[in-house]
Amino acid sequence: MSAGILNLRCEQWAEFFRTITVSTKDSATLKDLTASVISGQIRKTAQSPVLVSFLVTKSETIGEFTISLTSDQTGALISSGEVWSDTVSLVYDIKIDDDRLLNGIFYVSPGVTHE
């Protein structure tokens, strides 16, 4: 099965999180993720070094997990813009065990107010 495409947006220097729900191949039931290893990374290009890895938290609800980044992690992401609409496009993917679940573009808009 090919990975789903989900483009994500975040603001530099802000906390980021998304809850993702995964169903089985028949889409009728939610996938039990209890024994699964879930990971995800953001890079400038698919072959470039890792910029940041997502923190993955499994939910007590079957089939759900949350990916998140701290404000320091989003602050460290590349941003060349000067106004909120100047976004930088990075790439990411999320894997469950050895299967790629999601991939897409991770847009970052520049932050102005930060310590």
Average pLDDT for consecutive 10-residue bins of the chain (115 residues)?
A: 89 94 86 94 95 95 95 85 76 95 93 68
Q: For residue 72, give the 3-state DSSP assignment.
A: helix
Specify the pLDDT at position 32.
92
Q: What pLDDT does residue 14 have?
A: 92
Say what the pLDDT of residue 26 is: 79
Strand intervals (E) in the chain: 4-5, 8-11, 16-21, 38-43, 50-53, 55-58, 64-69, 88-96, 99-109
pLDDT value at residue 36: 94
pLDDT of residue 111: 75
- Six-digit token string for 22: 């995964």
Architecture of domain 4-109: Sandwich (2.60)
- The model's pTM is 0.88
pLDDT on residue 81: 64
> What confidence score (pLDDT) does residue 24 get?
84
